[in-house]
Amino acid sequence: MKVLVIYGHPNPASFNNGIKETIVKSAENKGHEVQVRDLYALKFNPILSGADFTEFQSGSIPADIKTEQDFITWADVLVLVYPIWWISRPAIIQGYFDRVFSYGFAFSYDQNGPKGLLPIDKAIVINTAGTPEGVYDAWQNSKELLTRPTDEGALYFSGVKSVTHKVYYGINVSTPEDREGYLKEIEAIIEGL
């Protein structure tokens, strides 16, 4: 199986990086091919520009977008790893969706509405949140705000058939034992591919 990891955290010492490394190791140990797109290390430009639209309308695709689309086309499984900031995904992840999941590649429209075009059977989304889970529980529908834009608004909309989404809350106050347990859970999710 071909596993594409889309990674969006700027700090190489972060727990998100540990999650990414665990995913890569677990997938490779199961014999899967793995590619990692570390968006910060790549200096991925998240800004959808007027020039991008001009190129799309002329029938061409900007080179950096085409590279990312080729990786997605290669993949059987997408794995996204990023933190939750301000009850949302980081700008670099949002920009990745804005630019790479473009009309004609990830979706189209016909008389019945939108149609997802990605032939991806499975996506796994793993997030960390500094805010403890109980705080989100107290805010009505806030947990849905963390997952729905990615799961439904981007992945299902684009044709991905199955999405597993895991959020690890209160990461800033988690213990080493908590984090070890989280990594074991992530290993099990990847081993289940």
Q: What would the pLDDT profile of 141-187 be if each residue is shown by its tens digit?
A: 667 777 889 999 999 999 999 999 999 999 999 999 999 999 999 99
Predicted TM-score (pTM) of the model is 0.94
Domain map of the chain by residue range? Answer: 2-191
**CATH code for 2-191?**
3.40.50.360
Q: Are 126 and 132 in contact (CB under 8 A)?
A: no
Ramachandran angles phi, psi of 153, nearest 5°: -70, -25
- DSSP letters, 37-84, are EETTTTT------HHHHHHHHTT---HHHHHHHHHHHH-SEEEEEEEE
The sign of the dihedral angle between the CA atoms of 88, 91, 96, 102 is: positive
SS3 170: coil
d(C-alpha 146, C-alpha 139), whole Å: 12
Q: What is the pLDDT of residues 63-94, one digit of tens each?
A: 999 999 999 999 999 999 999 998 889 999 99
**Phi and psi at residue 182, to the nearest 5°:** -60, -45
The answer to whether the CB of 157 falls within 8 A of the CB of 108 is no
Question: Mind listing the pLDDT tens digit for each residue in 30-65?
Answer: 999 999 999 999 999 999 999 998 998 888 999 999
